[in-house]
Structure 1
Amino acid sequence: MPFQEGALPVRYLGVPLISSKLSYKDCKVLVEKMEKKIDNWTTKSLSFAARIVTDLEKRMRDFLWSGNYHKTVKPKVAWKVVCLPKDEGGLGIRSLSAVNKALLSSHVRSILSNRNSLWVRWIHTYKLKGRSFWEIPSRGRMTWGWRKLLASRSLIRPLMWKSIGNGADTNAWSDTWCNIGPLRAFITPRRIANAGFSLQSSLAELVSHDGQWNWPTAWDSRDHLFFECSFALQVWNKVRSFTNMEDINGGWSDIMAWMNHNSSLQKPDNVISRLVVAAATYFIWQERNSRLFSRNHRTAMVVSHEIITTVRLRLLSLKFKRRFENGSLVDKWKIPDNNLELNPG
């Protein structure tokens, strides 16, 4: 055959390609290569190797402070400061550990986006096998490189958001597609299975043809949660006396009808009422998640107090230039006189 037969290990980008974990000895040649580059540092083309970051950065620090990578001197500035951009007070030197994390992130992004490459196809076929990258257990026998990618998930995951599109390619539980993060952080596999779903369920499977959520009503029902359930109704009844909505019951449609009718009015009474509705919605949703996922319970009185405290702190930052139609609201919210810039007459 017209080709030369070779044998492992071969080198790629200066690093031996072997099936086992790279040892220090395997990468020693890169350290030596770095030393030669430092000897002729005017070339400005240093080669970095992420697997031996500690040794390389030590030589870089020694060279920076002494002009000789063989000589160790006490650094005058912390290395993390040196690696800051110049406009932030650093020298703009790349942190090799940060570069290594960036490269790992790039590999993870390729996997998640299913980039058209032989390596990505191999990962999906032999490693993921239809499962989410975020759900693969990091245990048992696996290659060193694959273990490093899995170990990077806790660092990368908060920064990775999934574009929903039609929802067919978005994992309902593992992908981050909403503000509260991946739902698997709160909903256990048992709850998912009991609801008739699997860990591989797409977001599209959770939405019906008429746009309603398919998951159990106990998980989420807008009208039930705001504010028809007994707990939410208790909270609403406690806070609505601090608004201009005392004749509005706890029905979501009634509250939204009032909001739509008064949304463009800048009357102080209406501003306060809209703030209370927004805060009540947020804290009841927060309490619902806390009870469902961490089993922490607060009373309606405690949640109501938090709503009122939050709204009052917001009111203290406002200046009201129009009169309150309901004068009792000024007293109820204890709004200081210096927040009332009322025009005479």
Structure 2
Amino acid sequence: MEDIDSLCSAFLWSGSPNDSSKAKVSWTEVCKPFKEGGLGIRSIADVSKVFSLKLIWRLLSESHSLWVDWMKKYILRNESFWDVRDTGLGSWVWRKLLKLRHLAKEFVPIEVHNGQSARFWTDLWHPRGRLIEIAGETDTQKLGIDRAALISDVRTADGVWRFRRCRDRQMREIINMIENHQMEVNHHAPDVVMWRKNETEYCRQFFTAETWQRIRIHGGLKEWSEVVWFQFLKEWSKVVWFQLRVPRFAFISWLAIRNRLSTGERTGAWGQPQGCLFCGEPNETRDHLFFACPYTYTLWLEVVGTLLGRPPDPDWESTLELLTTHSYGRLEYLLVRLVFQTAIYIIWRERNYRKHLKKPKLPSQLARIVDKTVRNRITSTGYATKPRLRGLMQV
């Protein structure tokens, strides 16, 4: 799976799956959601892991499946999934499922009712985890309970636990832990394998999106919560990803915000220094191109006009902060972001044209190109027939 991800990364940056030397942003960052500063692409490795967890859930939840029945008869052979060893039987998928058991333990508690399918020692029915891992293999007999015993073998119909008297301190602590765990006794309801949807909620079905959210780069953390997730958010993401964005404009803007365009400052580190092709500034940086350069600032003044709600600032950070935090009307915000992205794209394209000795254009010429491009994009939406976009051209 990692090899496939590597091919995808190479293709994104070079157009060929065989050239992995041109990546501007790591694949880990690319695979983050839009709101966290990525491109919203899902890693093949993470997706594969999610669907492998779904197979584990099917296997444990007694789902009516020919595959589950076959696996239980020929591979598990009445053993617990948590204890079965890799004996060479089964496919590579099965061996992958076995390797994911440590992760699956965080998701599949058993809700005990009649106790006739949940195993006392080896299943995940107690909040502390599997009792066999707490007590140890050699101490199971101290309570007089067989390793393969079910909960119904240890608990009476009245919900009373039957333990052998034991003076061992650790065993006494385990007994207290079990007796203090409140469980519903319902002899007419079977035990149910649950799936962890979020920090506090468990359900009787598998949730693909929520599971992926927990296991990806920050995932698998027991302390994961919405508060933790908020720390990963990038406020500038809404400047890049919005309803009217043009994909190639958004992509170049995304690279610009992350400062990953191949400006003179960056190529200089590779031994290829490049000055500003618009004004001759020796050090061509992202902040200089957008919009500290007199040429690009002249263009920016002409195309943005009064859309920002205040005089345009040549400082990149100030401009981005304004677009991120200022309160705009809905249509105004759509338009100002579209103009911003189009200006970045056209400036970057003109810069590359000049680098390859094409005929340069004046700022006024580029301004007309930006204006025409924005108008064409708005027209392509059929804005006049859409109530939420009506009036966009008049902003």
The bucket for the TM-score relative to the shorter chain is 0.3 to 0.5
Which has the bigger relative contact order, CA under 8 A and spacing at least 6?
A: 2
